[in-house]
Structure 1
Amino acid sequence: MSQLVTGDAVVLGLRPARLPSRALAVFIDLVVLWSIYLALSVALLSAVGSLDEAATAAVAVALLVLVLMGGPVAVETLSHGRSLGKLLCGLRVVREDGGPIRFRHALVRGALGFVEIQMSGGVIACIASLVSARGRRLGDVFAGTLVVRERIPVAKPMPVPPPPPWVAAHFAELDLSRVPEGLWLAVRQYLLRVNELDPRVSWSMAQRLAADVASRTGTPVPEGMPPAVYLSGVMAERQGRDARRAFGAGPDTARPGGAHATPPPSPTPPPHGVPSSAFAPPPVPQGPPVPRHPSAEAPAERPPAGGRETEEPRTGFVPPA
């Protein structure tokens, strides 16, 4: 990482390009430049073939200077430091203060680059890049420029370690609305780096952050709870509330009988071979029988037709007529 300071005293963290990526970008640029130069040389020299040798040599030198030296200067000036090779390799030429280059920077780089890259076969540029701490060649040193990497791989964000299960119930009623975002960011960074810190430094930072969070919530840290565990529990509670708010689940999710409460389980059927009456609830005791009105009594049975009574026992069933 290169520490570059702008005119406003702002420190920029830029990654200088190393020799392999720069060599690949230069190789791509040279292939394109020499292809254009050879095509133009064949076309122009065939067109001015009727001229004398001095005129033909002048045209060849002018074409060499315009294409192989003026081409990189024009491309870097118009593209603000990104030639075709640098664009493909994710590189860019900037000033030492991090700003875009201009024509004078590109002119110095192009003039010295023709000597140290094309005339010497790249030997001078390679030696200068290996000696320089930021991988700069002579053109960069005299022009005050630096080749940096534009495409930097971004690391995936690490999740905050979860708190122990026994601390989850201590933070359900905390008021976290007054905790600023800057303090949340400091707590998150501490929890991500807690295993990399010295134990004494980690303990002091955790105490300071826990005191700040407790002062904002208005509830002191539970007695006997380590400050790091407290911070982890508060962060987990805040993330849980944000998740419920983002996905539309209200506070009734965790309450019994709420809108999103879990329905009660269905009754389990009795095992095979066991009567269902064994799992039936006990009978509810009833009060004394209520006397009925005589008119509500069932009519007495009448003897069958013919005046003869049957000797069969009474079953309460009357056969159809």
Structure 2
Amino acid sequence: MSELVTGEAVALELRPAKLPSRALAVLLDLAVAVIAYIVLTIGVVAATASLDEAAQTALSIAMFVLLLVGGPIAVETLSHGRSLGKLACGLRVVRDDGGPIRFRHALVRGLIGVIEILMTLGVVAVIASLVSARGRRLGDVFAGTLVVRERVPLTRTGFVPPPPPWLAGRFSGLDLSAVPDGLWLAIRQYLTRMQQLDPQVGWSMAERLATDLAARTGAPAPQGVPPAAYLAAVLQERQAREARRAFGNGPTAGAVPAGAGAAGGASPVGGVNPVSGVGAETGAPGVYGPPAVSPAAAPPLPAPQDAVRPAPAAPAAQDESSAERPTTGFVPPA
């Protein structure tokens, strides 16, 4: 297990790929590339039989560079680090911070791979992988990438706390198409680790992520909603849309109607204030609440209206059977 630290100071637990699985993925990629090269060469030679030998040699070299060098670069760029061999072995190329790779990363890996894999028959790549602590070859070192395993046990996945019930369905009309995968990854990793961070650092990190998310969606967080709760609610909305897209348009499991838990002036489940995230009875900070403030620096809280409201007068007479009957909250008919 290897811990990578993102730009938001969130540690990611990723499993670097071992040498046997990486070698098998490279062999599968090379086999596909060689087969495509042979088929294309036969077709080009048959189509250019009237050309001279120099032209045919130039075409052969161009096809070699296109398929064995440009092919892997294009595939890794378009698939964000998953070639055919890596897809079959459950591997993926990511950046050092855990994000998806781009064209420049794939270009550096492909160009150096020509030297350490094709020209030396993989000897240099094997030696570099054995020496590296995380199994990286020279192309990974210069490109700032890492090959990791995607197929990990479900028990390794961090738990993302659900948003408060009063935010359910609040962002159902939000446009999430412009949010990149890297930002979703950072939000999810922050939510799984926010309980392990310092309160002040976690709060500022949530504000930065909420600002980036609001800039991508075009809708800022509602007034009074903690940034961590805003991130959790938007992430849950994205997961609900993915579930509806995969399994149909049925109701999402665990969805709570908007406003549920606030009827009658009561706070949501657990007695947590929906604005500040602070427990109503204990005063302890909630999951998505602001950083804890020392009692000396905390401003005095106003007395709740229920505490100063006079108690209603007791009824003049009451039947014993009705006194023992449990209260339902509804007024019986006259």
| TM-score, normalization by structure 2 | 0.46
Structure with bigger gyration radius = 1
Q: Which has the higher contact order (CA 8 A, sep 6+)?
A: 2
